[in-house]
A and B are shown apart, each in its own frame.
Chain A
């Protein structure tokens, strides 16, 4: 009889619980007291030359404006895509803990994307959902700053598209969309940047030595994605133990053509 009662009770409680579950967020912020760390290095198997991007300014109605654009943008730019150390450690790789359901709250931290000498600064950054994008134009030219979410099929979906016709213009926009974001200027097609917009704090960018560190991760086994604009993704599993550091090393083997070169 008791078993039947327990069963009825469970059914009665599960129905509203299921209804509630539909509305719960995909990531839950909790206190992490015994979190572990993932620390490591990302390398390239081969030496890869960093390409030079040629820039050709199309004549404008006013020759003065053409000259201003040529002076600001230059005639070529180093892509800064393959920035490798002497030992082939890779700068600007994104290391992302994927599918994490709970952990520390994402920080409230706005990020600035600057249009500077016809490139975006920084090239790679991490933003947090519910914080803000600060878009700045430091050039005396019209730039438009377009952010698009990279979809599975490689297409990109507009997140917003802003006109910045003045130097020192600043626009603040709320960050509503999670995922890998490509930044582009339609007027200067070589300009590009990448943002990983996250609901959680568990993502990092490699430094000039290819190093990264992600702390306070709740113990468990996670899928780690390593993304770089010029290399094919690497996905590896890693086990995080309480109050200890897991070593993570990955080597890029295949290059790929980034969006701005397609």
Chain B
């Protein structure tokens, strides 16, 4: 027996290494197979539900094209499908410059985006939404290159929306010069409102608080997270480093009143 072992020591060593290598590799291969199946499933959902607007390569050049809509103030708003290949996401719970967390994408797919023609897909099976989320990630290298960021925690204070907070929020709105874009009365008609462009160099309009719901949703938490994270890819900057948490909630109180959603 010893002779056999001695004579074939190299073979035994090599085989041991191979077994070790495959032992290391095999869980990854299982994961790979699972991931490939998910991507394939996501591709199928995407082709049926998303491709018409977002295009085959996720670049927003689907057959649907640009939709033009007149705003109440007479300005024309061009709405076009999001270019997913750029890897820029407006509606995140992560700081400016970060990729969204998985739940952020699920929220957009599930809830849709009001005023943008992005419908809600709440009725789809959860597994389909997860699969299409993973498929969307294949359009941009950002998902491979960048480390994930922690989402920002949102803790709504009990006083949010009360008259004192609204009054403080009005002062902060002025001090933060929100009116330069959003207008001094929140109608989206500030002196800089016609100069704003998005990441694709296309003109965009600042939100008119008096006309409707925020695209990401108009709950106090959604308004708070919008000020905090900014809307990457648009002119809306992040106020996370410019305003403390309390002042951001006062601003929420005031802007909810502008939207006629205050208490």
Bound: A16/B176 CA distance, A: 55
List which A1-25 residues lie within 8 A (CB) of chain B: 5, 8-9, 11-13, 15-16, 19
Chain A residue nearest to B192 in the complex (CB)? A187
Task: Let me know if B175 is at the binding interface, CB within 8 A.
Answer: yes
User: B58 to chain A: which residues have CB within 8 Å?
Assistant: none
Bound: A58/B180 CA distance, A: 10
Q: Which of A60, A151, A177 contacts B191 (CB 8 A)?
A: A60
User: A189 to chain B: which residues have CB within 8 Å?
Assistant: 195
Stretch of B41-49, B108-116, B158-166, B234-242 that contacts chain A: B234-242
User: B195 to chain A: which residues have CB within 8 Å?
Assistant: 186-187, 189
Q: How many cross-chain pairs have Cβ atoms below 8 Å apart between A and B? A: 118
On whether A160 and B96 interact (CB within 8 A), knowing A155-B199, A171-B241, A176-B147, the answer reads yes
Check A11–B177 contact: CB distance below 8 A. Answer: no
Stretch of A115-123, A142-150, A216-224, A245-253 that contacts chain B: A142-150
Bound: A151/B141 CA distance, A: 12
Stretch of B18-26, B67-75, B118-126, B216-224 that contacts chain A: B18-26
Check B180–A187 contact: CB distance below 8 A. Answer: yes
Q: Which of B97, B146, B232, B239 contacts A173 (CB 8 A)?
A: B97
Check B25–A15 contact: CB distance below 8 A. Answer: yes
On whether A61 and B179 interact (CB within 8 A), knowing A151-B86, A158-B199, the answer reads yes
Check B201–A12 contact: CB distance below 8 A. Answer: no
Bound: A16/B16 CA distance, A: 13
Interface majority SS (helix, strand, loop, mixed), chain B: loop
On whether A16 and B235 interact (CB within 8 A), knowing A148-B199, A157-B86, A157-B199, the answer reads no
**A228: shortest Cβ distance to chain B, in Å?**
21
User: A60 to chain B: which residues have CB within 8 Å?
Assistant: 180, 191
Stretch of B7-15, B128-136, B207-215, B252-260 that contacts chain A: B7-15
Task: Let me know if A258 is at the binding interface, CB within 8 A.
Answer: no
Q: Which of B14, B28, B96, B200 contacts A8 (CB 8 A)?
A: B14
Check A142–B97 contact: CB distance below 8 A. Answer: no
List which B148-197 residues lie within 8 A (CB) of chain A: 175-177, 179-181, 184, 191-192, 195-197
Bound: A163/B247 CA distance, A: 14
Q: Which of B147, B191, B192, B237 contacts A162 (CB 8 A)?
A: B237
On whether A186 and B192 interact (CB within 8 A), knowing A176-B146, A262-B201, the answer reads yes
Bound: A129/B179 CA distance, A: 35
User: A162 to chain B: which residues have CB within 8 Å?
Assistant: 96, 230, 237-238, 241-242
Check B17–A12 contact: CB distance below 8 A. Answer: yes
Interface majority SS (helix, strand, loop, mixed), chain A: mixed
Q: Which of B22, B196, B242 contacts A165 (CB 8 A)?
A: B242
Chain B residue nearest to A187 in the complex (CB)? B192
Task: Let me know if A124 is at the binding interface, CB within 8 A.
Answer: no
**B161: shortest Cβ distance to chain A, in Å?**
23
User: A146 to chain B: which residues have CB within 8 Å?
Assistant: 237
Check B242–A169 contact: CB distance below 8 A. Answer: yes
Check A163–B232 contact: CB distance below 8 A. Answer: no
List which B63-90 residues lie within 8 A (CB) of chain A: 86-88
Chain B residue nearest to A12 in the complex (CB)? B17
Task: Let me know if A164 is at the binding interface, CB within 8 A.
Answer: yes
Check A8–B18 contact: CB distance below 8 A. Answer: yes
Task: Let me know if A161 is at the binding interface, CB within 8 A.
Answer: yes
**A17: shortest Cβ distance to chain B, in Å?**
9
**Pairs A–B under 8 Å by Cβ, sample size 17:** A8-B11, A12-B20, A12-B21, A15-B21, A58-B192, A60-B191, A144-B235, A144-B237, A151-B86, A157-B86, A157-B87, A158-B232, A160-B95, A161-B97, A162-B242, A163-B239, A187-B181
List the interface of chain B (C-beta within 8 A of A).
Answer: 10-11, 13-15, 17-18, 20-22, 24-25, 28, 86-88, 95-97, 146-147, 175-177, 179-181, 184, 191-192, 195-197, 199-201, 230, 232-233, 235-239, 241-242
List the interface of chain A (C-beta within 8 A of B).
Answer: 5, 8-9, 11-13, 15-16, 19, 58-61, 142, 144-148, 151, 155-166, 169, 171, 173, 176-177, 186-187, 189, 262
